[in-house]
Structure 1
Amino acid sequence: MFQSLIDYFESISPILAALYATLFTWGLTALGASFVFFFKNMNRVLLDGMLGFTGGVMIAASYWSLLAPAIEMSTGGGFMKIVPVAVGFIMGAMFLFGLDKLLPHLHINFKQSEGVKTPWQRTTLLTLAITLHNIPEGLAVGVLFGGVAAGIPEATIAGAVTLAIGIGIQNFPEGIAVAMPLRRMGLSRRKSFMYGQGSAIVEPIFGVLGALAVTFFTPILPYALAFAAAAMIYVVIEEVVPETQQSGNTDIATLGFVAGFVVMMSLDVLLG
């Protein structure tokens, strides 16, 4: 089945493939958000475990799917080989740092807001928080498909599809993490779902933009891969991990992180 999927993606334009792959990751966010039609509350222990799983997937994907290929395709030897990756990594972290300081958003526990002061409602701020998470995820998938379009040997359709599958899996709890708190706040099931799935709309947008950027300017690929990796790691350390520590479920969250890391590592090694 996986080989059939690879064969299909190889038969279409990598740009179109990036769009389809990120629509898939968006779809799994919507699937998670759809749980709001059946449940009003989510057990906090379970939510922290799923968020930990999300963090594990993102960290594993950052190395195996992004940083390792970026280092491999960098030219030069010795210290010069890691310069593009280091520069791209720093740029990715600073990009998320800037967004974090400028974009108003609210953490899942509703106790801490960040970014510039705004009169926006808490529903909007919470949705923006998860949207912030999804920007580097869409970008990561897009730049890998862009590398395929540019003919870079280290960038493969199998690797890009594997990354999309991993990100899609971890998007499922993210959809729940947005929709459920909104439902508890008193929003209707429909509105809670719409906010939840809408948080991932940036993934197809940044997926296509990332693929196009790399296609038209191939030398930026190592930088772009490292950029996406840093942005994902920044989100995990600054947002996801602290969120799992708020309710005393640190052990469950840590075990979820380990499970997510192993799942993504296995997917990348076995399929990518």
Structure 2
Amino acid sequence: MFASLETLHPTVQALLAGCFTWGVTALGAALVFFTRTVNKLLLDLMLGFAGGVMVAASFWSLLAPAIEMSDGSFLPAVIGFLGGGLFLRLVDYVLPHLHLNMPLKKAEGIHTTWRRSVLLVLAITLHNIPEGLAVGVAFGGAAAGLPSASLAGAVALALGIGLQNFPEGLAVSAPLRREGFSRFKSFWYGQMSGIVEPVFAVIGAAVVMVARPILPYALAFAAGAMIFVVVEEVVPESQAGGNADLATLAFLGGFAVMMGLDVGLG
């Protein structure tokens, strides 16, 4: 598998990986064709698992290589990490969106009269941006020929993000179905929340290919943005349904799976 991937341009590799993670989002959203409601415990477990995957990916696939590329210096990683979090906070502050299980009056960003369904989709779409960037930067870094940023590691990151995208697709489509949307419309909006991932994967790969010296900063930037998403949305939502202990165990499981993928493949 890796031999065939190596023959492709890094931006094409990133595009394929981004399409994979988008496809898994669509698979999660497709569950709405089989059920109108989703068990709250199951959703909390899946969100907890997703949070664990994202945290592990942020360190093993992004921050650790960023520090290695800087000859052990932590400064580029710190600058990039904080920059990623601050950037996503700025977008979070400006873009209208609504988190899951929140009333319409709790919508964040610039005030708008957009429908609740649109705001729900925008919330997940916004938080898929750093995942796409992370995938693209990882493949761009592998093309730089640095030992700490391997193609296998980039593939492991894409697999991990794909795993945690499954509940995200369902987390969009299921609430829309409960609000009276048809099965197809619920699925359509759910899968559309992941369309930004291949777009930003290509952008991330292209940027680091053009300006390789920024690679450690770019890796850490993606990590900071992903940690912001985990702390600001994924973990609170997994803990809000009365299944905090089980969701926490699922978080640990997700972390362990992503760590195993990265160490085993990378």
Q: Which TM-score bucket, shorter chain as reference?
A: over 0.9
Match of 1:215 in 2: 209
Match of 2:165 among 167, 171, 185: 171
Instruction: Give the % identical residues.
Output: 64
Give how far 1:136 is off: 0.5
**Residue 228 of structure 2 is aligned to residue 234 of structure 1:** yes
- Name the CA distance, whole Å, in 2 between partners of 1:170 and 1:265: 14
**Residue 148 of structure 2 is aligned to residue 154 of structure 1:** yes
- Secondary structure, aligned partner of 2:152: helix
- Name the CA distance, whole Å, in 1 between partners of 2:219 and 2:250: 26
- Secondary structure, aligned partner of 1:152: coil
1:108-257 to structure 2, matched below 5 A, reads 108-111=100-103, 112-257=106-251
Give how far 1:248 is off: 1.2
Give how far 1:153 is off: 2.9
Match of 1:271 in 2: 265
Question: Can you list the C-alpha shifts for 1:179-229, whole angstroms capped at 9, x where unaligned?
Answer: 001000000111100110000111001000000000000000000000000
Question: Can you list the C-alpha shifts for 1:155-174, whole angstroms capped at 9, x where unaligned?
Answer: 11100000000000100111
Are the equivalent residues in 2 in contact too, given 1:214–1:220 (CA < 8 A)?
Answer: yes
Amino acid at match of 1:93: G
- Name the CA distance, whole Å, in 1 between partners of 2:242 and 2:35: 23
Give how far 1:175 is off: 0.6
- Name the CA distance, whole Å, in 2 between partners of 1:262 and 1:151: 27
Give how far 1:110 is off: 2.8
Are the equivalent residues in 2 in contact too, given 1:15–1:149 (CA < 8 A)?
Answer: no
- The answer to which of 247-256 and 36-45 deviates more is 247-256
- Secondary structure, aligned partner of 1:128: helix
Match of 1:100 in 2: 92
- Name the CA distance, whole Å, in 2 between partners of 1:117 and 1:246: 25
- Name the CA distance, whole Å, in 2 between partners of 1:216 and 1:110: 42
- Secondary structure, aligned partner of 1:142: helix
Give how far 1:147 is off: 1.2
Match of 1:10 in 2: 6
Structure 1 unaligned segments of length 5 or more: list them: none
Match of 2:76 among 73, 81, 84: 84
Structure 2 unaligned segments of length 5 or more: list them: none
Question: Can you list the C-alpha shifts for 1:7-63, whole angstroms capped at 9, x where unaligned?
Answer: 221121111000001100000000000001111000011101100000000000000
- Secondary structure, aligned partner of 1:266: helix
Provide the TM-score with structure 2 as the length reference.
0.97
Aligned residue-pair number: 264
- Secondary structure, aligned partner of 1:151: coil
Give how far 1:151 is off: 2.7
Provide the TM-score with structure 1 as the length reference.
0.95
**Residue 23 of structure 2 is aligned to residue 27 of structure 1:** yes
1:38-57 to structure 2, matched below 5 A, reads 38-57=34-53
Give how far 1:263 is off: 0.6
- Secondary structure, aligned partner of 1:105: coil
Give how far 1:107 is off: 1.0
Question: Can you list the C-alpha shifts for 1:86-112, whole angstroms capped at 9, x where unaligned?
Answer: 110111010011011111111110333
Amino acid at match of 2:30: S
1:62-73 to structure 2, matched below 5 A, reads 62-73=58-69
Amino acid at match of 1:265: M
- Secondary structure, aligned partner of 2:190: helix
Amino acid at match of 2:157: L
Amino acid at match of 2:57: A
